[in-house]
Amino acid sequence: QLPIIYNVCNNAKAPEGQPSLITWDEVTTLFHEFGHALHGMLSDCKYNTLSGTAVARDFVEMPSQFNESFASIPEIFDHYARHTETGKPMPSDLKDRMLKSINFQTAYSLGENLAATCLDMAWHKISEDEVPSPYMAGAFEKEELYKIGLLNTQIPPRYSTSYFNHVWDGGYAAGYYSYLWTEVLAVNIADYFAKHGALDPAVGQSFR
């Protein structure tokens, strides 16, 4: 069967008469979600219930996080990072500074992800009798983060209890850790691509 797959974006609309521009975060999100689309399109399975994103939660984010790495490959960057009026690629010095800035505050990102991951586990390891009342959810959150040394007002969890949709109805219950787990896998694969030619068709075919 040929898959029917689509990515739906929700980017801010530009004022009338102005071009629609997107931030770097939106660029990486676009590459990330297209990685999910590729996962589905390149699946070759006997049962469609096992194809694409219908895989184990601790693997499903690997193709998408790996695909993010292509956004910062200089040769690919030049294709889309162009001036809206002249169509010229970004000047080399600005491009170099832009790509180097990607690693800015990665420790902050790791901290907020770790906190969210541990918060997810904290909620899903307690029994039904131990679930606090809605009024005490915030106190429970602070207590659990304090126990593991991640209660830091400067680096709060990426998602707090009251709006952690991933783990309440998004299919990631006790599984939000998969983002960090698959990021390690994705970085290893991206490193292989960097060493053997990220745009080499043979390298891409080996990944497929």
Catalytic residues: 33
Q: C-alpha 63: how far from its chain's center? A: 10
Q: What is the DSSP letter of 89?
A: B
Closest C-alpha among 186, 158, 185, 184 to residue 172: 158
| Residues 22 and 11 sit within 8 Å (Cβ to Cβ) | yes
44-50 — which CB contacts under 8 Å span 24+ positions?
48/1
Which tokens in the block code for residue 132?
A: 């606090």
Report angle CA 150, 156, 157 to the nearest 5 degrees: 80
